[in-house]
């Protein structure tokens, strides 16, 4: 079995959310989930396991099963989403393929039962009840806050991965996966984690009307290999400025060769060793895309209201005598990269700030071609001043490491206009 954790009733730190709070939630009161910050939400999702314990013992290593056998705790996640919520969402305009897939397993293969066009709840319910179909609701975070499943039961079988931490999804033949390494039934209030690449099967036990669950797929394309690919181009860019060998032309006809020559391989090996030596002594890695993509594809900060606070600066206008601080720190990234202005032939380094404050929740992760990055760019001379703002709980505008007062005021005004800082 995967590591199993059951909430203890001894009131110690590792225990569950107090029953008093859960009873309030069941009566329509506050949820036991913490929406104050991403880290707070995550810790409440995996409670009673601590975040530090999860990443030390389970993350990318082995499955974790949290079972909340207490009937009161069965509502731990349920208030966030249930099957009946689909009825109201259908009335808002949902479409087959884009928002919902209806499918079922026939002779071991997935068969899609989608209709054309707009989704109607009565048809959805008919497919669900009469055809025992599975309803896949894509990217529900566009309509709710974070959700987890909590209706019915699901029987799960986990198998040892054929490719640990696999980068790509694949279907494995049953004669390759062997017998299940773990087998159990998830009930309302339970949570299951397993590392990427774990082969798994799930079905609703016979006799149950339905089972509602959510799959949270996270940390895609965030491996060391991805980070190396992202930073290597910037490292080569910097090194080539100082090393004439990297600026020399490759041998004529090299690109026409079917196989890479031994001479070219030795040359590239030497360059890689040189880059490794240079990497040891640098603290400034140029990120080509990862930081930008992270900000572009992140949900905006969670707000109970209409989110106008994220697009319109508020509070006092910052001046030279102001003290300012960074806000929405978890939604802002700072990076250095070559100038992206195509008219600048010198390709000098610039400082880029990307954020998710203006990202649209209704199109999140939907492959929308209109997705754009939001942020600012500054000359490299501003990097030290920006680091001061990033690394301080609050800082006086006068103390920013810039040459003139005009530069200091211009910097904080740009950040304030983008809702990234506030005057304290």
- For 76-97, the DSSP string reads TTGGG--TTHHHHHHTTT-BBT
Comparing 141-150, 187-196, 200-209, 363-372, which segment has the lowest mean pLDDT? 141-150
Domain 224-281 fold: Arc Repressor Mutant, subunit A (1.10.10)
For the chain, residues classed under CATH 1.10.10.1500 are: 224-281
Mean pLDDT confidence for 100-129: 82
Cβ-contact 358, 388 below 8 angstroms: no
Cβ-contact 370, 351 below 8 angstroms: no
125-155: pLDDT as tens digits: 888 777 777 777 776 655 547 334 456 788 8
With residue 273 as reference, give the H or E element that holds it.
helix 262-280
Nearest Cα to Cα of residue 136 among 152, 146, 122, 149: 149
Residue that is written with structure tokens 């600012």 in the block: 376
* Domain 63-80+145-218: which CATH number of 2.60.120.650, 1.10.10.10, 3.40.50.720, 3.40.50.300: 2.60.120.650
Cβ-contact 100, 137 below 8 angstroms: yes
For the chain, residues classed under CATH 3.90.930.40 are: 288-423
How confident is the model at residue 266, as a pLDDT? 94
384-420: pLDDT as tens digits: 999 999 999 999 999 999 999 999 999 999 999 999 9
CA 64-70-74 angle, to 5 degrees, is 75
Pairing assessment for the beta strands 395-396 and 374-379 based on DSSP bridges: unpaired
For the chain, residues classed under CATH 2.60.120.650 are: 63-80+145-218
CATH annotation of 288-423: 3.90.930.40
Give yes or no for a cis peptide into 48 (omega within 30° of 0): yes
Nearest Cα to Cα of residue 237 among 187, 287, 189: 287
Residue that is written with structure tokens 């860019």 in the block: 237
314-350: pLDDT as tens digits: 889 999 999 999 999 888 999 988 787 666 556 678 8
Cβ-contact 333, 291 below 8 angstroms: yes
CB atoms within 10 A of CB 411: 22
């Amino acid at each position: 079995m995967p590591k199993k954790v059951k909430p203890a009733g001894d009131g110690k730190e590792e225990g569950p959310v107090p029953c008093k709070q859960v009873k309030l939630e069941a009566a329509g009161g506050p949820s036991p989930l913490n929406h104050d910050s991403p880290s707070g939400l995550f810790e409440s999702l995996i409670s009673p396991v601590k975040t530090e314990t999860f990443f030390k013992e389970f993350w990318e290593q082995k499955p974790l099963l949290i079972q909340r056998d207490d009937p009161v705790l069965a509502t731990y996640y349920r208030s966030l989403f249930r099957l009946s919520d689909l009825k109201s969402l259908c009335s808002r305009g949902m479409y087959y393929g884009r928002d919902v897939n209806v499918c079922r397993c026939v002779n071991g293969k997935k068969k899609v039962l989608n209709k054309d066009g707009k989704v109607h709840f009565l048809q959805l319910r008919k497919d669900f009840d009469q055809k025992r179909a599975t309803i896949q609701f894509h990217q529900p975070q566009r309509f709710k806050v974070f959700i987890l499943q909590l209706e019915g039961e699901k029987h799960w079988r986990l198998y040892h991965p054929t490719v640990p931490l696999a980068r790509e999804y694949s279907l494995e033949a049953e004669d390759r996966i062997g017998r299940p390494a773990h087998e159990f039934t998830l009930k309302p209030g339970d949570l299951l984690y397993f590392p990427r690449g774990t082969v798994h099967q799930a079905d609703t036990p016979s006799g149950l009307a339905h089972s509602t669950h959510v799959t949270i797929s996270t940390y895609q394309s965030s491996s060391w290999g991805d980070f190396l690919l992202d930073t290597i181009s910037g490292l080569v860019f910097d090194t080539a400025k100082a090393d004439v060998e990297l600026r020399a032309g490759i041998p004529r006809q090299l690109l026409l060769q079917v196989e890479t020559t031994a001479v070219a391989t030795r040359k590239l090996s030497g360059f890689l060793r040189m880059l490794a030596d240079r990497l040891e002594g640098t603290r400034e890695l140029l990120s080509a895309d990862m930081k930008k993509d992270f900000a572009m594809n992140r949900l905006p900060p969670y707000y109970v209201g209409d989110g106008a606070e994220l697009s319109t600066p508020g509070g006092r206008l910052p001046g030279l005598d102001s003290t300012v601080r960074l806000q929405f720190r978890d939604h802002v990234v700072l990076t250095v990269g070559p100038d992206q202005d195509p008219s600048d032939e010198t390709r000098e380094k610039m400082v880029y700030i990307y954020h998710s404050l203006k990202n649209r929740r209704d199109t999140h992760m939907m492959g929308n071609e209109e997705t754009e990055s939001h942020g600012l760019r500054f000359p490299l001379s501003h990097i030290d001043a920006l680091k001061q703002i990033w690394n301080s709980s609050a800082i006086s505008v006068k103390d920013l490491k810039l040459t003139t007062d005009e530069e200091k005021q211009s910097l904080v005004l740009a950040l304030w206009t983008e809702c990234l800082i506030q005057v304290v």
